[in-house]
Amino acid sequence: TCLTRLEAGEKNPKIRSGLVAILLRIGDSKTADLLWRIAQEDNYLRLAIESKLVDLKSDLPKEQWRLRLKGGESRESLNLVACKGLAIVGDISDAAAFEAIIKDDTRSTPMRVCAAEGLAAIDPAKAVALAESMGSDNNFEEGTERWDRWLAIVRLLKENNTDTALGLTIKAFAEGSDAARTDAFKHLSNIWLERAVSLLDVAKKDREANVRLEAVRHLDLHFDGEAIIRLAELVADNNPRVRMAARDALLKHAEEKMWSEAIQGKVTAALQSQKWWEVEQAAIMVASLKMTSAESQLFSLLKHERSDVYIAAAWALRVVAESPEILQKILDYAKEKTDYIFQSSVLMDPE
């Protein structure tokens, strides 16, 4: 078995790697001691094993992680694992190391942001004080490769709900990087609901797709009549992840009787949009909601210039078409297209 062979000291590197991979997939905390012993003997497997030990919240590597954060390791990946691990199993004595990393401008943004998360976890008061200091410090250039000040500030604040934290979070949303604005809006949504609502229209038009995804998440969690309007607008978003998330949120709430009619009305309107990607999503929603009333509109979309749209419409018609008139039109159209394809002298794509 895996345990027996590894405990016996399997020497073949490929076999050992395969056996360790099995244990990592299983993720049993009972194997942590064995995995840690192997990690100390095999540099090739160390990163994968330590990452799993972080997931298992094991404190076995704690002392090595502490040494590493003091400058004992040059590999960024191992330093990041140490930082993540100490954020979970560390204590107040690690606060100074985290703070030193945050202030060290030779460190990368991922490392400094990770240290911010660690400090927020083990010493929230010091984290907020540092965030406030950083928020008023203009000595750092935003957008540089090694520093994302506002992202670090938001991570330092974590779930803090003070007025100071609110002010810094709003400033991060206004001035920060794409990642900082995403985290800032999520923080606002989780802690200061009213302020998040006031910024929703800004968030759903943000240039960064992840910010708009956070707006979708907020609207889904705090669903009402206004959310229907905003989510319907986001179904027309130019990013596929955003429009699919908005679509799925509307479909989920359409199962609630009080919202069903309003959502179906938005879907019907979207079928007439000038944006093909919005029409495609609307056709998918028609099928999911089994909107038989939209069968005529779907049939007209079979002649749309975009294959994405007419394929979605054809799929939806298979679900909702039921009137004899529409069914006959579909058969006639299918025969017409089939005859055209097979009678053509040029090889054509059946699509």
What is the distance between the alpha carbons of residues 207 and 172, in angstroms, rounded to a whole number? 15
Query: Mean pLDDT across the stretch 191-220?
Result: 96
Question: pLDDT at position 173, please?
Answer: 96
> Backbone phi, then psi, for 135, in 5-degree steps?
-65, -25
Reference 218, options 189, 248, 244, 247; nearest CA is 189
HEC secondary structure over the chain: CHHHHHHCCCCCHHHHHHHHHHHHHHCCHHHHHHHHHHHHHCHHHHHHHHHHHHHCCCCCCHHHHHHHHHHHCCCHHHHHHHHHHHHHHCCHHHHHHHHHHHHCCCCCHHHHHHHHHHHHHHCHHHHHHHHHHHHCCCCCCCCECCECHHHHHHHHHCCCCCHHHHHHHHHHHHHCCHHHHHHHHHHHHHHCHHHHHHCHHHHCCCCCHHHHHHHHHHHHHCCCHHHHHHHHHHCCCCCHHHHHHHHHHHHHHHCCHHHHHHHHHHHHHHCCCCCHHHHHHHHHHHHHHCCHHHHHHHHHHCCCCCHHHHHHHHHHHHHHCCCHHHHHHHHHHHHHHHHHHHHCCCCCCCC
Number of neighbouring beta carbons within 10 Å of residue 24: 18
- In which band, very low, low, confident or very high, does the pLDDT at 347 lie, cut at 50, 70 and 90? low
Please state, for a pLDDT cut of 90, what percent of the chain lies above it.
78
Does pLDDT of 77 surpass 60? yes
Query: Mean pLDDT across the stretch 43-60?
Result: 95
What is the distance between the alpha carbons of residues 278 and 282, in angstroms, rounded to a whole number? 6
pLDDT, one tens digit per residue, over 265-283 is 999 999 999 999 999 999 9
- In which band, very low, low, confident or very high, does the pLDDT at 351 lie, cut at 50, 70 and 90? low
- pTM for this entry: 0.85
Reference 155, options 121, 126, 178; nearest CA is 121
Question: pLDDT at position 143, please?
Answer: 46
Question: pLDDT at position 147, please?
Answer: 78
pLDDT, one tens digit per residue, over 117-169 is 999 999 999 999 999 999 876 554 544 455 789 999 999 998 789 998 999 99
Does pLDDT of 342 surpass 90? no
Query: Mean pLDDT across the stretch 64-79?
Result: 89
pLDDT, one tens digit per residue, over 274-330 is 999 999 999 999 999 999 999 999 999 999 999 999 999 999 999 999 999 999 999
